[in-house]
Structure 1
């Protein structure tokens, strides 16, 4: 049994490895960013910074869901907490995260789909969602690393970059 667990953790393509990388990146982000309020009003991308500076209304031409680095920091931290503690804890607290809303929407679509099709192919659904989860977790890991490095640059700690 122990050998199986060790092989799973060593496999760079395992779901557990991808999850652990995101959680580690989010923890590193949280440990590095000592003053999250410094992230307020800092555009998420350096390209957005140029758009904001050139825009007369001081509004980005392509607004995203996370308008600044601070909101993105809070989102990544919230998603990490949802992964570590599950959705049940948040439901008990009465709040709804982005992840919860997506899961509920997915469940509603799945129920509707199953009613229409009669029987579902669980294996293909599993592989579809697993593939999506790998993609999302990989992107979130990159974003957490990017946010951490960007924070270091913003506060002048570029010599601290990995």
Structure 2
């Protein structure tokens, strides 16, 4: 059985700490948002409400894949579940998740880079640090987004007394 060093576990720069912060923020979001359907048609950012560009067919154009807070909530919840249960649950379900689509896109881009830099790709240490840095960045952004979504939900439903 693998033992985790107590000092490493609580180091603010450890991967475990970053993962735990995201999981805590996602759990808090999930516990706070009792009626996720209230998030439908709410833009991700407050300033987007006033300045949403409209196309010819009166549909707003959004550069983000998640058009509203509800879709963003589903994405964060899906990522949390995949971190908890791993990829096995997704494979058993047979469906493609947001994470799977992003991973496939990243793999395609990585294959293009790898074909251009085949001789440099043998350095496993640099690959490890590259992906670890990316993982830290993504998990930190997801944590901020989960906290933002939770606080925005509290403001929208009038639960300002619930804000921490």
TM normalised by structure 1 equals 0.87
Pairs aligned (count): 162
How far 1:91 moved relative to its partner? 1.2
Gaps of 5+ in 1: none
- Contact kept in structure 2, 1:52 and 1:58, CA below 8 Å: no
Aligned alpha-carbon RMSD (Å): 2.9
**Structure 1 runs of 4+ with >6 Å offset:** 53-57
Kept in 1: contact 2:37–2:70 (CA 8 A): yes
Instruction: After TM superposition, give the deviation of residue 31 of structure 1 in Å.
Output: 0.1
How many angstroms does 1:111 deviate by? 9.8
Higher helix share: 1
Query: Which sections of structure 2, spanning at least 5 residues, go unmatched?
Result: none
Give TM-score, length-normalised by structure 2: 0.86
Residue 27 of structure 1 and its aligned partner are, at CA, apart by 0.2
Q: Is the CA contact 1:41–1:69 (under 8 Å) kept in the aligned structure 2?
A: yes
C-alpha separation in 1, matches of 2:46 and 2:84: 31
**Whole-Å separation in 1 of the counterparts to 2:52 and 2:144:** 24
Query: In 2 relative to 1, CA 6–82 (structure 1 residues): closer, same or farther, beyond 3 Å?
Result: same
